[in-house]
Structure 1
């Protein structure tokens, strides 16, 4: 599954795999897609990752922004040629302790908005809020931490996914990806 536009490429693999295997598969898919997209030899493309730092895609002597996300059954990656990207995917599901999770990681305002949602709509709304925050944090090169009030000024866009998943893409403001399905 591929979507591209405005210097951003989103790649997805829908398969139930052990996490380590999913990581290898999405990295291979990123290299293949980038080679095709940029008309480069796949041998000139590699994924560089250092613990505590965002991954990078090395393209024949230059680097591109790279972000990964996995949930059981779906792995996504985003490549940004002109600046940072962040992507996050989450299965829509009912979470018993949703209010404390939202308050602790998404902030009091989002927790209150979720509390005001009808029960049947809350799992989707929580997944949308969670993936937006995670994608924005990845865009900023930050790790998930408890709510600190930081406002991240990026462009957020929903990425179409298979049923029961939600995904968000974060890019530089004014840099939106065309298309809406993965």
Structure 2
């Protein structure tokens, strides 16, 4: 499988598959790569790793019958999977690109403080800053089991960490604060 381990440590594994594929094929490929990487990481037979997925619910990962946190994210050209042995996890990836309606997007989904910070950011740096803020919010929502929603001031008690990705992508990993120290 053409996957790459992007980070590993303290019970967390993040892998990526870089390929421009139709979304259905990208989903299948990252799921297969996740199972293979988890099997190698934990020295388990691949048959001991089960992925349960039901529409409208977060995917569930069983490692030799033991539940683990699991999250997926896709953007054209890159798919990521994050596994946590310690509980909930969220991952999100986004291509860095100019978004014409960034101000409304930031106000509606990232909150007034982030919208102000982005407005003060030099225009050349804004696409990367927006991608970082967006992936942080989306990863935290996934980690806490919430779907994408407009800004609501709710505190998401997550530890956020940037994940190194190929050029022109930004990715963030979220774990419940205190559950994972550093990957």
* TM above 0.5: yes
Secondary structure of the equivalent of 1:53? coil
1:52 matches 2:56 = yes
Q: 1:120 offset after TM fit, Å?
A: 0.5
What value does the CA root-mean-square deviation take over the aligned residues? 0.9
Contact 1:157 1:176 in 2 (8 A): no
Q: Bigger shift: 19-28 or 49-58?
A: 49-58
TM (norm. structure 2) is 0.94
Secondary structure of the equivalent of 2:147? coil
User: Which string of whole-angstrom CA distances, capped at 9 and with x for unpartnered residues, describes residues 11-63 of structure 1?
Assistant: 10011111100000000001001111111110111211122221111112111
Partner residue, 1:152: 156
Unaligned runs of 5+ in 1: none
Partner residue, 1:39: 43
Distance of 1:173 and 1:153 partners within structure 2: 6
User: Which string of whole-angstrom CA distances, capped at 9 and with x for unpartnered residues, describes residues 55-78 of structure 1?
Assistant: 111112111110000000000000
Unaligned runs of 5+ in 2: none
The structure 1 segments of at least 4 consecutive aligned residues displaced by more than 4 Å after TM superposition are none
Q: 2:34 aligns with which of 30, 37, 41?
A: 30
TM (norm. structure 1) is 0.95
Distance of 2:181 and 2:165 partners within structure 1: 17
Contact 1:102 1:110 in 2 (8 A): yes
Contact 1:5 1:177 in 2 (8 A): yes
Aligned positions of 1:123-134 closer than 5 A: 123-134=127-138
Contact 1:69 1:89 in 2 (8 A): yes
Higher strand share: 2
Q: 2:15 aligns with which of 11, 15, 28?
A: 11
Q: Bigger shift: 12-21 or 45-54?
A: 45-54
Q: Bigger shift: 32-41 or 47-56?
A: 47-56
Secondary structure of the equivalent of 1:36? helix
Distance of 1:177 and 1:143 partners within structure 2: 25
Contact 1:90 1:166 in 2 (8 A): yes
Partner residue, 1:102: 106
Matched residues, number: 178
Q: Bigger shift: 87-96 or 40-49?
A: 40-49
